[in-house]
Structure 1
Amino acid sequence: MTTYKTRAFAILASCLLLTTACEKDLLNQPNPNAPTTESFWKTEADALKGLTAAYSGLQLNGTYRRWIHFGYDIRSDEGFSSSPWPELQNFTKTVLTDYDFEVNRDTWANHYQAVNRANQVLSYVPAIQMNDKLKTRILAEAHFLRALNYFNLVELYGRPVLATEPSSADYRPPQAASEQEVWNLVIADLQTAKAGLDEKYTGADVGRATKGAATALLGKVYMQQRKWAEASTQFAEVMKMGYSLAPNFYDNFRHTSENNSESVFEVQFVGEYSADRDDDFAGASEALQRSQFFGLPGKGWTDGEARPWLITEFLKERTTAGKKDPRLATTLFFARSRAGYPVDPTDPVDQDQLAYDKMTLEERFKTDEYNRNRVYWRKYENDYWRDAEGYYSPINFRVIRYADVLLMQAEALNEQGQTAAAIPLINQVRARVQLAPLGSMSQSDLRTQIMHERVTELAGENTRWHDLIRWGLLDNQAGIDQLKTRDADFSLFVVGKSKYLPIPRNDVNIAQLQQNPQW
C-alpha cells in the first residue's frame, strides 16, 4: 500500500457527485457506473481494487496532491501568494470572485470524487463473498477515508452536501443543515473505522489507515468542536499504541524516512514520471506537486510562500546549548543576511542554508534583492536530494504526526484545567530539538505557549487553519485584527463570510444548494 498504483477500472474513476463545471446537469445523466456495477463487485480482488481507488482519491489535484495546501497553509497567516496568476492570489486572500475557479472547483469536486469512491466500497463490498476479517477491515478503511474527506469539506466549506451512497442519476444527496450534522457523520464513520482497523501493518500494507489514524482523527474532530474531554480520551488511546517521535525532525519530510514511528497517517506518493501528471487513471502520476508550487524561483513556481513572522517565532527560544531552534532551518528557506537576523556562523541553523546546487540564497540571488529577501517553504521540498523541483515529488504527505497528537492532547488537558498534566507532553516535543523543559505555568500562559509550540513544530503542515478555527480567531474582528499584524491579507477578511470558501456556483445553481453566507 506504499502506493495506490493498481487503480481499479474506469468504473472507479467515479463520476463526480455534483456538477464540477460540466455544462449539463450530471445528476440527470445515466450513471456511468450502472452498466458495470453488477459485473465488477464480485470477488475479494474487486473489493481490494475498489478500496485502492478510494485511497487514490487522496492523490487528486484538489485533495493532497496540490490545491489543499493553498486552502490550508497559504490562506492562513503562515503563508501567502504573490503568484502571477491573479485568481490564485484572490483565492488565498479570501476575495474570490469566480467561484468556479479551478482551485476552488477542484478542491470541492475532488473531495466528492473521493467520497464517492468510498461510498461505492461501503455499498458494494458487503455483498461480496470473501474473508470476513478482510471485509471488515476494507469497510473500516473506507469509513476512515470518507471521514477524512468530510473533515476537510466541513473545515473548508462549512455545510457541504452529505452523500452516503454511490452517485447515480436518481440519488440527490441533501446539503447538511448544519456543521454539526457533518461532524456527526464523521464521528460515526471514525467510530466504525476504529472498531475494524488494525493497529499496525507490515509489508505492502504499510500506509493503510490504522486504528491509530482513526482514533487520532476522531480526537481532532472533537478538538474542532472544543469537546476537550472527548478529544483527550481519543488521544490517550493513541498514546498507548506504540508511536514515538522520530529522532530527527527533518525525517518527517523526506521520502527516505516515510511511514516512520511518528507517522500516524500519511498520503502515499511516488515520484515516477508520467506524461499524465494531472490525470486520474491507472498509469497516471501519483506524485506530490506541492514542492513545485512552493519551490524557489527558478526551481518551482513559488505560487505559495511563507510569512516572515515565522522566523521571529522560531527565534523566541534557544536550545539548551544556546543555539537557534533547529526546526527553523527545516521549515524555511531564507537569507541569513536579511535585516535584523542574528546570524551566527557557528550555529547549525545558519550552517544549514544551502538551497539546491549547494548555493545560499545570497549566492543564488546576488543581484536580485526582491527574491533574496523572500521567505520560502522548505518542508516537503526536495533540495536534500536533487537540484530542482517538478511535478513528480515522491515525498509522502504526513496528515497526522504523533507530535501533533501530543500537542493536541496537551491543549485538551489544559482546557480542562489539567495544566500540570499537559506540560510533560509538550516537553516531549521540545526535548527532540534540545529546548529546555517548561516549568510550572498558569492555564492562560500555557494556552499562549501551546500556540507558539504549534507554530514551531507544525508550520506548513495543513494544521494552522484548523487551529485558527478552533481558537476562535476567525469569528470576530478582534481575532482578525490580531492576524492582520502578521498577515496583511487578513485586512480583506470579512467576519461571517471568509472563514469558509464559496461553494462552486455551477453546483449551487444546478443542484440548488444554499451558498455560504455573504458569498
Structure 2
Amino acid sequence: MNRYIYLFFICIGLSFSACDEDYLDVKSPDQLTGESFWRNESDAEAGLAAAYSQLECATSYWGFAEIKFTVELFPSDLIKLGNDALNYEDWFSIFNFNTTAGNTQTTQYWNIHYKGINYANQVIEKVGEMTEEQINTSAKDRILAEAHFLRGYYHLKLLLNWEKIILRDAYPKGLSGIDKGVSERTECWDFIIKDFETAAIHLPENNSIENMGRATKWTALAFLGKANLFCASETNSDPAKYYKAAKTAFEPIVAKKGDNLETSFISMFDGTNQNSDEALFELQLSTNTDNGSWFKFPYHRWLKPAGLGGWDEIAGSDFLLQEFKKEGKTAIDGRFDHRLYETLFFDDEYFNDAANPRVYSYTYKEWWDYNGIPYDKTGFRKYLPKSEDEFYSTAIGNNIPLLRYADVLLMYAETLNELDETSAAIPHINVVRARAGMPAMTGSSKSDVTKQIEHERICELAMEGSRFHDLRRWGKLNATMADHGRTGVSDATHFFPIPESEINSNNAIE
C-alpha cells in the first residue's frame, strides 16, 4: 500500500473539485477533477490510499501522538499525566472530563476521521461506477470492500467518542451536501455493522507482501464482532441478537487461528515483529522517505518519561500497576504477570539487575536518576523501540497494532459468557493468560468470568485505547473513576462535545 500512499495528496482536492457549482468560467482540459480522475485501477488504488491515509490521525509530525493518544488514552483510569502534559490546557481538560466544543485535540480527531470517511465515500461511488474496461471485477470488488471497511472503521472510532455523530454515506457534491444532522446511536451501529458485513464478503484472507497492512476478511470480521458486542451493551430491545451476531463473526477467526498467539508480547510493539500473525489490523509506519513520503513520527519521545529523556506526557497509574500485581508472583517463573514488565517500567528487581540491565543497558534506578532528577511516576515501556539507536532518534517508523487476535479471544470469551456459554469462554481466557506466563484462571461462574475478562483486558490492552470504552459499555465508568480519584465524570461528560467548527459550518446541527 505504501507505494500508493504518496498519491493521496492528489485526492485531497477531489472533494472540492467535485462540486456541482461552477466557480470558474474556463477550466483547463488537463486538470484532474472529481469526474476525470477515476480512469483505471491505478487511480482507484490511489483514491483508496487517500482513505487509508487518515488512519489513527497519523497525518502530521507533531499532531499524531498529540491527537491520537490524548483523545484515546487521557480519559482512561490506567494513566496519569506526565509533568509536561500539565502545560497543555486542552489535554488537561480531556483528562478532567471538562472538554469544551473548542478543544483543539478532539476537533482535529473529529475532522481527520471525517476526512477519511469522505475519501472512502468517493472510492465507493466513483470506483463503483467504473466499467470492466477500466478495472477488472476482482480488483474493483476488493477496493470497494476496503472502502466500506474504512468507512465503517472511521465511523466506529467516532461513535466510541461522541454520543451522536453524523452518518456520512455519500461525499458532499456541493455546499448543500454539507448540512446534515446527527443520527441516533442505534442507526449508527446498524450502519457500521452493515459496512463491516459488506467488506467481509469480498476482502481476501491474506495480503501479499506489497499489500501488507491492508484490511483482510479477518480484519472485517473482527471489527464486525466488536461492533456487535459493543452495540449489544447499549441496546435494551434485543441484546442477544447482537451477541449472537458477534459470536458468528468471531467464530471463523478463532477456528482459523486456534490458540496461536505470538510468543513475545513486547515484540509486537517495539518494532521487531511488525505485521505479526497476531495482528489483524496494524497502522503501517516507515522510516522510508522515498518520493517525499513521510510515515515516521516522534511518538516514542512523547511516550518516554523524563527519566528516559522523553517529553514526559503520560505515565502509568497506580491502579494499573496494582492491577498487574494483584495475583502476586504466580507466573510460571515466579514473577508477576509477564505483561507487567513489557508494559511498564517500575521499581523492581527485574529492572534493577546490574548484571542484566533491561532498558538500553541501564537499570531502572539509573534511568530514574537521569541528570540527578528523581522521578516519582511509573513509565510506559510499551511502544518504545527495542533498538537503542531508534530510541534516541527524533522519529521512528514502527507500526502500531490496531486490533490483535488476543483482543478477539477476550471479546469472544465475553460474548460466549453473555450468551451463558461460560464454560466455553474460559479456555480462550486461559490462552491469553498462558502467553503472559500465568496459570489458568480460578473460578467458573459467569460472574467469575466477567471479572477475569475485565482484569485481562486491562493487562493485555493497556495503552491500546479500549479501557474507557469498556468501562462505559459495562456501566462501570462513574463508580470506577470515583474509586480511582478521577472526578468530573457524569452522564453529560461520557462523550466529547461536537466540535464548534462543525456546529458553525453545518446548519443542520444546533
For Structure 1 versus Structure 2, the TM-score category normalised by the shorter chain is 0.7 to 0.9
How far apart are 1:370 and its partner, in Å? 7.3
Q: Classify the secondary structure of the residue corresponding to 1:426.
A: helix
Specify the alignment match of 1:291 in structure 2.
300
Alignment map for 1:15-26 (pairs within 5 Å)? none
Measured in 2, the distance between the counterparts of 1:387 and 1:46 equals 35
Kindly indicate whether residue 136 of structure 2 is the aligned counterpart of residue 141 of structure 1: no
Any idea what SS the aligned residue of 1:412 has?
helix
Question: What are the Cα deviations for residues 190-233 of structure 1, in whole angstroms up to 9, with x where unaligned?
Answer: 11100110011122012110000000001100111123222111
- Match of 2:188, as an amino acid? V
- Following TM superposition, by how much is the alpha carbon of 1:268 offset from its aligned partner in structure 2, in angstroms? 0.6
Structure 2: distance between partners of 1:253 and 1:507: 35
CA distance in 1, matches of 2:20, 2:70: 29
- Partners of 2:113 and 2:156 lie apart in 1 by 10
**Distance in 2 (alpha carbons) for counterparts of 1:47 and 1:412:** 37
- Which of 242, 248, 253 is the equivalent residue of 2:269? 253
Please report how far the alpha carbon of residue 449 of structure 1 lies from its aligned counterpart in structure 2 after TM superposition. 1.0
Q: Which residue of 1 aligns with 2:129?
A: 127
Opposite residue 304 of structure 1, the aligned amino acid is I
Contact 2:182-2:509 within 8 A present in 1 as well:
no
Contact 1:305 1:375 survives alignment (8 Å) = yes
Q: What amino acid is the match of 2:304?
A: G
Does residue 231 of structure 1 match 2:238? no
Match of 1:210 among 189, 192, 216: 216
* Cα distance in structure 2, aligned partners of 1:471 and 1:234: 21
**Equivalent residues in 2 for 1:182-331, closer than 5 Å:** 182-226=188-232, 227-242=242-257, 244-272=260-288, 283-297=292-306, 299-317=309-327, 318-331=330-343
Query: Which residue of structure 2 aligns with residue 492 of structure 1?
Result: 488
Aligned partner of 1:168 in structure 2 is 173
Deviation digits for residues 244-300 of structure 1 (CA, Å, limit 9, x no counterpart) = 3111111211322111110111111113469xxxxxxx7342124432321122633
Letter of the 1:234 counterpart: A
Q: In the alignment, which residue of structure 1 is the partner of 2:54?
A: 57
Aligned-residue RMSD, C-alpha:
2.9
In structure 2, distance between residues paired with 1:367 and 1:54 = 43
| Distance (whole Å) between structure 2 residues aligned to residue 511 and residue 449 of structure 1 | 45
Deviates more, 1:1-10 or 1:296-305: 1-10
One-letter amino acid of the counterpart of residue 378, structure 2:
V
User: Which residue in 2 is equivalent to 1:21?
Assistant: none
Q: Secondary structure at the match of 1:264?
A: strand
Name whichever of 146-155 and 497-506 sits farther off. Answer: 497-506
CA distance in 1, matches of 2:347, 2:289: 32
Between the aligned partners of 1:228 and 1:351, the Cα distance in structure 2 is 51
Q: What is residue 80 of structure 1 aligned with on the other side?
A: 80
Percent identical among aligned pairs is 31
Q: Is the Cα–Cα contact under 8 Å of residues 414 and 447 in structure 1 kept in the other structure?
A: yes
Contact between 1:299 and 1:388, CA under 8 Å: does it hold in 2?
Answer: no
Q: Which stretch has the larger CA shift, 214-223 or 304-313?
A: 304-313
Count of equivalent residues? 480
Q: Secondary structure at the match of 1:167?
A: coil
- Which range moves more in the overlay, 39-48 or 232-241? 232-241
**Paired residue for 2:161?**
156
Aligned position for 2:403? 400
Query: 2:469 & 2:264 partners in 1: Cα distance?
Result: 26
Partner of 1:278: none
Q: Write the deviation string for residues 309-353 of structure 1: whole angstroms up to 9, x where unpaired.
A: 2111111232123221111111112233xxxxxx46899xx9876
1:477 paired residue number? none
Q: Is the 8 A contact 1:266 1:398 kept in 2?
A: yes
Alpha-carbon contact 1:7-1:49 (below 8 Å) kept: yes
Check the 8 A contact 1:161/1:173 in 2, yes or no: no
Question: Following the alignment from structure 1 to structure 2, what is the Cα–Cα distance between the partners of residues 346 and 10?
Answer: 52
Q: 1:80 to 1:285 in 2, by over 3 A?
A: farther
> Are the aligned partners of 2:74 and 2:94 in contact in 1 as well (CA < 8 Å)?
no
Change over 3 Å in CA distance of 1:206–1:88 after alignment to 2:
same
Q: Does 2:461 match 1:463?
A: no
Could you tell me which residue of structure 2 aligns to residue 68 of structure 1? 68
Name the CA shift for 1:458/1:401 in 2 (closer, same or farther; >3 Å).
Answer: same
Aligned AA (2:315): E
- Residue pair 1:335, 1:372 contacting (<8 A) in 2 also: no
Unmatched 5+ stretches in structure 2: 233-241
* 1-structure distance, mates of 2:14, 2:64: 18
Which residue type is aligned with residue 229 of structure 1?
A: K
| 1:437-488 superposed Cα distances (whole Å, 9 cap, x missing partner) | 12551111111111101111111111112211221123xxxxx2332222x3
Conservation of the 8 A alpha-carbon contact between 1:74 and 1:305: no
* 1:346/1:481 CA distance change after superposition, 3 Å: same
Alignment equivalent of 2:359, drawn from 355, 358, 367: 355
Letter in 2 for 1:502: P
SS in 1 for 2:77: coil
Q: Distance in 1 between matches of 2:245 and 2:150?
A: 21
CA distance in 2: counterparts of 1:77 and 1:390, whole angstroms: 30
**Normalization by structure 1: what TM-score?**
0.85
Q: Secondary structure at the match of 1:36?
A: coil
1-side partners of 2:374 and 2:427: how far apart?
41
- Which amino acid in 2 is paired with 1:73? L
1:240 aligns to what SS in structure 2? helix
Distance in 2, matches of 1:299 and 1:27, equals 53
Q: TM-score, normalised by structure 2?
A: 0.86
Could you list the runs of 5+ residues in structure 1 that have no partner in the other structure? 17-25, 275-281, 337-342, 475-479
Matches of 1:417 and 1:325, distance apart in 2: 28
Answer yes or no: is the 8 Å Cα contact 1:269–1:395 preserved in 2. Answer: yes
For the 8 Å contact 2:56–2:68, the answer to whether it is kept is no
Residue type of the alignment partner of 2:343? T
| Cα distance in 2 for residues equivalent to 1:441 and 1:365 | 42
Which amino acid is 2:506 matched to? A
Q: Which amino acid aligns with 1:121?
A: V
